Structure 1
Amino acid sequence: MAQTYAYWISTAMLSVLYLSSAGLYLARRDYVRDVLRGLGYHAAYLVPVMAAIKILAVLTILSRFGVALSDLAYAGILFHLLLSGIAHLGVRKPGGAIPAVVGLILLTASFATQNTAREMPSPYAPAATSLTIMTRN
């Protein structure tokens, strides 16, 4: 039961993080472009694309159209958060990497507990029994 709560809380918080980020991308495009320029990226056309991808990733994980697609969305979020954190650290702005670190923690919790809360289990997430054994020791 605790793992089901952990899944839904971590997934909800990850969704809020990603949807608020997408909202920022859409509402304050100029600001986001300036931040991306500060990170060394000169691809302003990516701002609306990244906003759409963030929204679609959240919808895919929450609706779970298919397990494989949901796992692909988890992988995409993982790579995005890793690259975002590394980009901020690379330009010596560690404060900008904090949302990525928080997102990675939430993503790990959500992915690791998804099989306890969902009917169709993911073959890549740890089995519920192994999580139970790990938490009892």
Structure 2
Amino acid sequence: MKRNKIIFYIATVLLSVIVLFSVWMYIFKHDMIVGSFTHLGYPPYLIYPYAGLKLLGLFAIWNPNFNVIKEWAYSAFFFAFVLALSSHLMVNDGGHTVALMALVLLIISYIFKQTNK
């Protein structure tokens, strides 16, 4: 039981670091992110709402009282990371590594979340 909690916390903390770094980049390096979003084919007006939704998703994942919302957050992050992975692979810009790491950490966090009670 203790091993499972440790795995959950390590995976979720590393996932949170990746997501918080991306939110930080969206807010404080906005001009660079506009270029990245445009290069990937996404409209730049999605940057700030996407950053806010990422923060809400992290809040839901870490909050033990929101079980249904937590499932939705895991689902949303899964689709976001799969789409990010495929977008980076399609334009071949090398950004797929972080998306793949986030996806793996998300899956590990989800598998071991049931034991975190």
Higher relative contact order (CA 8 A, sep 6+): 2
Quick one: which amino acid aligns to residue 36 of structure 2? V
SS of residue in 2 equivalent to 1:64: coil
RMSD (CA atoms): 0.9
Paired residue secondary structure (1:45): helix
Q: Residues 98-130 of structure 1: CA distance to partner in whole angstroms, max 9, x if unpaired?
A: 111000110011000011112xxxxxxxxxxxx
More helix by share: 2
After the TM superposition, which segments of 4 or more aligned residues of structure 1 sit over 3 Å from their partners? none
Written as runs of structure 1 = structure 2, the 5 A alignment for 1:1-137 is 1-41=2-42, 43-93=43-93, 95-118=94-117
Shift of 1:66: 1.6
TM-score (norm 2): 0.95
Rounded to whole Å, the distance in 1 between the matches of 2:17 and 2:92 is 27
- Mark the structure with the bigger radius of gyration: 1
Letter in 1 for 2:91: V
* Structure 1 residue 64: Cα displacement: 3.2
| Structure 2 gaps, min length 5 | none
What is the CA–CA distance in structure 2 between the aligned matches of 1:91 and 1:101, rounded to whole Å?
Answer: 15
Residue segments in structure 1 that go unaligned for 5+ positions in a row: 119-137
Q: Identity of paired residues, percent?
A: 28
CA distance in 2 between counterparts of 1:40 and 1:21 reads 18
User: In 2, Cα distance between the equivalents of 1:68 and 1:19?
Assistant: 22
Q: Which amino acid aligns with 2:66?
A: G
Normalising by structure 1, we get a TM-score of: 0.82
